[in-house]
Amino acid sequence: MTTPLNFDTTWRYAPAPESIPVRLRKSYGLFIGGEWTEAKDGRTFRTINPASEKVLARVADASAADVDRAVKAARRAYDRVWSKLPAAERGKYLFRIARMIQERAREFAVVESMDGGKPIRESRDVDIPLVAAHFFYYAGWADKLDYAFPGRRAAPHGVAGQIIPWNFPLLMAAWKLAPALATGNTVVLKPAETTPLTALKLAELIQDADLPPGVVNIVTGGGETGAALVNHPGADKIAFTGSTEVGKRILRALAPTGRSYTLELGGKAANIVFEDAALDQAVEGIVNGIFFNQGHVCCAGSRLLVQESVAETVVAKLKDRMATLIVGDPLDKNTDIGAINSKEQWKRIQGYLKLGEAEGAEKYQPACALPEKGYWCPPTLFTGVSQSDRLVQEEIFGPVLAIQTFRTPAEAVEKANNPPYGLSGGVWTDKGSKIFKISSKVRAGVLWANTYNKFDPTAPFGGYQESGMGREGGLHGLLPYVRLLDPEHS
Ligand code: NAP
Ligand code: MG
């Protein structure tokens, strides 16, 4: 067994803060019908930087009356402009938005890190490039829907209501907006309360791109704003990404109405590491899967299932690697683990850390100095957990890894499939045949082999069971936004 490194006596990088200037207004209104407007009752809320607890801006808090205005603006834009535009013209707008996102990528990355707490390395190298890639990809589909659905005519629903979470704020907006617009829908989008700023900056970009007014409307607010959008009969389709708990509430509200919906919900993914895997590579994948981005990832590899014969080695290597992870300023290019997104989420994670110990698991956290202000959590692993423990069954959404061992592939599969989710997973082995065997038995929407958390706009993403229904990304991601009609249907 190797001795854990003492990070303080090995090496430490000099600070390298991102220095791109950002333009943030003191306050933001709602973006409705191509214009900025206050909430009808004048209510606002603050969005803070979770790394410093400083207020970044005040943002309008939309009521049901504001949501109604936004849905009506989207309907007008659909009836008068968007549904009449040739598909190739819709595509041109999307290409323009994609290019403008690339031009402004650095500023978007900084704002994303300030508002949500994620390391700049993630927002700069992963989130924003994928945002542009999604717009490019779906721009290409706009005038090729006949090829996507041969023999059918793909008609838009009309107005799409879209509700997104705080962990990938702009990327989730892109996953929602790009396919909806490409297929000819207009949109009302509600970002999460703690991370509204990049969606609002996207609204500025959309204005600069001269998208016809009302095609995209952005309403900020909390859960009530989201519920008002879900319950608005004028929203023909609802696309929701968020927690399973809220997803179930939305399902109950929408199922009797006959309106269309897709739900992308939580996960409790397992990385399965076999004794024949390249162990150092697997450790990197595990670290990437659960610790980067603070574990604020729906498909985070929050469980590790490791074959008993290599368990001790893998855990020792993991502990070594965890000791080198840098927790701190999200705007520092060296940072691996940024700030926890909000005080509420921080409290939730702390609750699970206590619970883990109370359930009899053994906790390991490397020694690391945390900033005084802001919300932070060191990378944490638990060994000695059992299958029924809440640490193994429930989504924590923080940098917390639960480790179990297995002896046979069948046992690994059984444990992987046990929690009520089915969003993603990973398998690490030298044998291709094992990859195929395991991936055909693990019930997850995405299974990565000898890698983790890799995304591409051409690949569908989505879950089984309590992880949701419907797919986003790729050709599959067009389907939730269209009604497939007989070609003769007018
Ligand atoms: P959440 O509490 O469910 O919130 C998601 C969004 O729904 C937010 O905009 C939220 O507004 C809004 N909302 C809250 N209550 C609502 C209601 N009753 N009706 C309609 N909308 C409502 O989830 P979260 O804590 O922000 O996000 C983390 C969750 O998202 C995790 O469970 C994660 O796994 C999941 N997620 C899934 C995917 C995927 O693709 N499967 C991707 C990313 C995240 P407020 O922010 O104002 O509360
Ligand atoms: Mg914020």
pLDDT at res. 233? 97
pLDDT tens sequence across 360-389: 999 999 998 899 999 999 999 999 999 999
The residue to mutate among 115, 127, 167, having the most atoms of ligand 1 within 8 angstroms of its beta carbon, is 167
Which of 452, 394, 449 is closest to 418 using CA atoms? Answer: 394
CATH number at 142 reads 3.40.605.10
The pTM of this model reads 0.95
d(CA 316, CA 305): 15
d(CA 282, CA 429): 9
Burial environment of residue 395 by CB neighbours within 10 A (0 to 12, 13 to 18, 19 or more): buried
The residue to mutate among 241, 299, 467, 476, having the most atoms of ligand 1 within 8 angstroms of its beta carbon, is 241
155 in Cβ contact with 482 (< 8 Å): yes
- Tell me the three state secondary structure of residue 398: coil
| Residues 236 and 277 grouped into a single domain | no
Q: Which residue is closest in CA terms to ligand 1's atom 40?
A: 264
| Residues 185 and 316 grouped into a single domain | no
Active site residues: 264, 298
d(CA 447, CA 412): 14
pLDDT at res. 10? 55
d(CA 276, CA 293): 28
Residue 13 domain-assigned (yes or no): no
pLDDT at res. 83? 97
Residue 348 domain-assigned (yes or no): yes
Residue 5 domain-assigned (yes or no): no
324 in Cβ contact with 7 (< 8 Å): yes
Region 413-421: mean pLDDT is 97
| Residues 81 and 229 grouped into a single domain | yes
| Residues 93 and 189 grouped into a single domain | yes
| Residues 167 and 284 grouped into a single domain | no
363 in Cβ contact with 380 (< 8 Å): yes
Instruction: Report the nearest atom of ligand 1 relative to the CA of 298.
Output: 34
| Residues 427 and 474 grouped into a single domain | no
Residue 4 domain-assigned (yes or no): no
Structural domain including 203 reads 27-265+467-485
| Residues 217 and 307 grouped into a single domain | no
- Tell me the three state secondary structure of residue 190: strand
Looking at the structure of the chain, the number of domains it has is: 2
pLDDT at res. 487? 85
d(CA 353, CA 463): 27
Which of 163, 164, 167, 165 is closest to 117 using CA atoms? Answer: 167
**Ligand 1 centroid distance, CA of 170 (Å):** 14
What's the chain's length in residues? Answer: 490
d(CA 67, CA 416): 41
Asked if the model's pLDDT at residue 18 lies above 90, the reply is no
Residue 366 domain-assigned (yes or no): yes
pLDDT at res. 371? 94
pLDDT at res. 313? 98
Q: Kindly state the percentage of the chain with pLDDT values over 90.
A: 94
| Residues 70 and 115 grouped into a single domain | yes
Q: Which ligand is nearest to the CA of 252?
A: 1
Q: Kindly state the percentage of the chain with pLDDT values over 70.
A: 97
**Ligand 2 centroid distance, CA of 51 (Å):** 9
| Residues 414 and 303 grouped into a single domain | yes
- Tell me the three state secondary structure of residue 444: coil
Q: Which ligand is nearest to the CA of 191?
A: 1
pLDDT at res. 347? 98
**Ligand 2 centroid distance, CA of 138 (Å):** 29
Tokens of 97: 């938005």
pLDDT tens sequence across 394-411: 999 999 999 999 999 999
| Residues 238 and 344 grouped into a single domain | no
Residue 3 domain-assigned (yes or no): no
pLDDT band at 27 (very low <50, low <70, confident <90, very high): very high
| Residues 299 and 370 grouped into a single domain | yes
Region 449-470: mean pLDDT is 95
**Ligand 1 centroid distance, CA of 476 (Å):** 22
pLDDT tens sequence across 34-50: 999 999 999 999 999 99
Residue 2 domain-assigned (yes or no): no
- HSE value, Cβ hemisphere, 13 Å, CA-based, for 363: 18
pLDDT tens sequence across 300-344: 999 999 999 999 999 999 999 999 999 999 999 999 999 999 999
**Ligand 1 centroid distance, CA of 298 (Å):** 10
CATH number at 343 reads 3.40.309.10
| Residues 300 and 380 grouped into a single domain | yes
List ligand 1's pocket residues with C-beta within 6 A: 163-167, 190, 192-193, 222-223, 226-227, 230, 241-243, 246, 249-250, 264-267, 298, 395, 397, 423, 463, 467-468
Return residues with CB closer than 5 A to ligand 2 (ion). Answer: 47, 115, 194
Residue 230 domain-assigned (yes or no): yes
d(CA 62, CA 78): 22
